[in-house]
Amino acid sequence: ELRRLLLRKQEPRDLVETAIERLLRAGFLDDASFARQFARSRALGAGLSRRRLQQELALRGVARDVASAALDEVFAEEPIDEAAGMERVARKKLALLGKLDVPTRRRRLSAFLVRRGYDFDDINRIVDTLVGRDTEPVQVREPKRAAPRGKRKREVKGAKPGPAAESTAGST
């Protein structure tokens, strides 16, 4: 990630490689340590699922095996209960959706939890628990129609055609 950032800032490649090598030798760049810290903070703070954490680490350039090992370690060390974490973030989000109708709350809460990386079965269960089952059919609203723009200009008999009409009339 640091390499990409420096190259994106158009730093010379040879200097970037030298700096990365020095940081690695000094022990300042360690993917495993970074992955553990990142997973711990995002799982406990943001309530991200194990699946989402794996994706986030991959986006940051951490190898899959290093990320998996870090996640295993973090989830074994910390008292992280994914179901409780999902319920916590769902309740927090639901508080923001309070004024919406039930189908809209269900849809938005489900989408929020999907973006957090949770399993669909778990999402349906928690949404049913927190919002309740949607027993009313979803009402389809009629699309709003555009307001009329006013009267359209009509051709007047005997009037001279505009410039566009003249250019097409002369070309035939």
| Three-state SS at 145 | coil
Looking at residue 137, its pLDDT comes to: 39
Looking at residue 21, its pLDDT comes to: 86
The pTM is what? 0.60
CA 164 vs CA 95, 155, 157: distances in Å: 59, 14, 17
Residue ranges, the chain, pLDDT below 70 = 133-172
Looking at residue 147, its pLDDT comes to: 54
Looking at residue 166, its pLDDT comes to: 52
State the DSSP code for 78: S
Distance of alpha carbon 31 from alpha carbon 61, whole angstroms: 9
Are 30 and 20 spatial neighbours (Cβ–Cβ below 8 Å)? no
Looking at residue 12, its pLDDT comes to: 87
Looking at residue 140, its pLDDT comes to: 36
Distance of alpha carbon 161 from alpha carbon 92, whole angstroms: 65
